[in-house]
Amino acid sequence: KLYVANGGDGTVSIIDTLSRKQKTLRVGNNLQDVIVMNKKVYVSVKDKDMIRVIDPVTQVIEEISNIDSPTDMITDGIMIYVLSEAEGEVVMINPTLDKIAKKIDVGARPRSMALSKEKQFLFVTNTGDDTLSVIPTKLLKQTITIPVSAEPAGIAVMPDEKFIFVA
């Protein structure tokens, strides 16, 4: 299945890629990102300061609240990392419990994230202070802050991990 967060109308499209049949669920306004883990769909809803958790079979929607301005999400296969743009944090969600496990301070207005190939490091671009935060995933705290160009938005880690590109 394909899940699409339709930020403009506040819905998530669930598309069967074989039959091309589509269902649409109303989730909330200003949807930012969607990720699938443990047979659940996680959607960041910036206007509501929460993550909506959708069971795609029953279409029951749960909420994980207290995440100010959630935007980008990424998973390491164990946890889900969510950027809290307003608070300058990475919020870790335990997808087994669907609860916040930890909050990690990063720079101002974090914008995007990437994991290293072996998931040893989480990299976060911060548009508010023009930096890149480096978080070792075993320590779960920011250990290095690297100055970068104005308002970094995107990030990519090369597969050989010799280069990190920030745009």
* pLDDT score for 8: 87
pTM for the whole structure: 0.94
Residues 6 or more apart whose Cβ sits within 8 Å of residue 162 = none
Q: What is the pLDDT of residues 56-70, one digit of tens each?
A: 889 899 999 999 999
Q: What is the pLDDT of residues 85-138, one digit of tens each?
A: 999 999 999 999 999 999 999 999 999 999 999 999 999 999 999 999 999 999
Give the Cα separation of 25 and 167 in Å (integer). 33
What is the layout of strands, in order, in the sheet containing 40-45? 31-37, 40-45, 50-54, 61-65
Q: What is the pLDDT of residues 35-64, one digit of tens each?
A: 999 999 999 999 899 999 999 889 899 999
